[in-house]
Amino acid sequence: MAKGLGHAGAELIVNNYSTDMLQEAKQEYESEGLKVHTYVFDVTNDEDVKKHIDLIEKEVGPIDILINNAGIIKRVPMEDMESDDYRAVIDVNLVGPFIVSKYVGRKMIARKAGKIININSMMSELGRNTVSAYAASKGGLKMLTKNMATEWAKHNIQTNGIGPGYFATSQTAPIRVNGHPFNDFIIQRTPAARWGNPEDLAGTAVFLASSASDFVNGQIIYVDGGILATIGKPANEE
């Protein structure tokens, strides 16, 4: 999504809690000729977020587009999950977008313009074993997205979400091999009969960040190869 926006002309600001990860991302984006700035702060900390949003607007300029993409998952059966682990997932995935959007949103309200994109999930709509906290957080984020649109549309701020399906990333590489049960499940369950590629998210992000979506508000666009469109036998099976 960052590369898609960057190649469309955006000046990128990337946040993480890890300086090393930020430096790696900065080098990758700059190798493609993109202009990028990096800031280390904790999206779950009000004071830290406010300070850095003010700093970004002072050092770089107005934040026109906000993508809330920070997220964690803890795969534990619900009956075995510790309350602290549950709260940690909710804190990052649901409270974090609220905090960051609040401080960026105040500045967008003053300017009467802004685009906010929350990264949802198919778990915004469906449950799955061992992801109770994650599903709760992403279901909550769907409704936060709708409520942000309800409150801020009058200020010419469009708040929407992207719900990715299953994507080919470094994290999924170990299971994306022929014969692996989960790989076979995804291929068979997805009407497109493949995993998503990261670049498949770029167009949706650019659309929601551009004037092409000025009358689109409170929507979640699922980029999932059709998984949520079907029940039972997928379209790619005979």
103 flagged as catalytic: no
Helix axes 46-59, 96-111, angle to 10 degrees: 40
State the burial class of residue 70 (Cβ atoms within 10 Å of its Cβ: 0-12, 13-18, 19+). middle
Contact between residue 89 and residue 73 where contact means Cβ atoms under 8 Å apart: yes
Run of H or E residues at 223:
strand 220-223
State the burial class of residue 201 (Cβ atoms within 10 Å of its Cβ: 0-12, 13-18, 19+). buried
Tell me the torsion sign for CA atoms 151, 64, 93, 73: positive
* Catalytic residue selected from 103, 134, 166, 222: 134
How far apart, in whole angstroms, are the C-alpha atoms of residue 211 and residue 225?
25
Describe the chain by its helix, strand, coil percentages, rounded to 5: 50, 15, 35
How far apart, in whole angstroms, are the C-alpha atoms of residue 217 and residue 158?
5
Annotated catalytic residues are: 134
